[in-house]
Amino acid sequence: GQQVMQIPQYQHVQEGEDFTTYCNSSTTLSNIQWYKQRPGGHPVFLIQLVKSGEVKKQKRLTFQFGEAKKNSSLHITATQTTDVGTYFCAGITSGTYKYIFGTGTRLKVLA
């Protein structure tokens, strides 16, 4: 079945450093979505990418969708303490109705 892995599982950074999490799917995806979950909270939608090679930016966050539509990345420039949380990617394979989430990357930012 479809599997979505994320690396790294954990990342500790000093405030102001950059951070990147990578998402890899075993199958080609129709789209990729990214979510953020604050400690003790629920996942909240950040963005969706649909096209091969697509790049989108949200302030300090840059999202990429791979050319083969099997991988994606989220890059945060100059992290802040408000970036703390777990970041999940999620995608759906064409012909299925199952949104599969990645294993998540937990980010800690040290002030």
Partner 1 sequence: NAGVTQTPKFQVLKTGQSMTLQCAQDMNHEYMSWYRQDPGMGLRLIHYSVGAGITDQGEVPNGYNVSRSTTEDFPLRLLSAAPSQTSVYFCASRTGIKNTEAFFGQGTRLTVV
Measure the CA–CA gap between 88 and 74, rounded to whole angstroms. Answer: 10
How many CB atoms are located within 10 Å of the residue 19 CB?
21
Which of 11-19, 29-37, 57-65, 75-83 is the region at the interface with partner 1 (rule: CB under 8 A)?
29-37
Task: Fill in the amino acid letter for 12.
Answer: H
Residue 31 near partner 1 by CB under 8 A: yes
CA triple 60-109-74, angle to 5 deg: 40
User: What does the DSSP 8-state code read for residue 81?
Assistant: G
**Residue of 50, 55, 78, 110 that binds partner 1 (CB under 8 A):** 50
Q: Which C-beta is closer to partner 1: that of 44 or that of 55? A: 44
Q: What is the contact surface with partner 1 in residues (CB under 8 A)? A: 1, 4, 6, 9, 30-31, 33, 35, 42-45, 48, 50, 88, 90, 92, 97-104
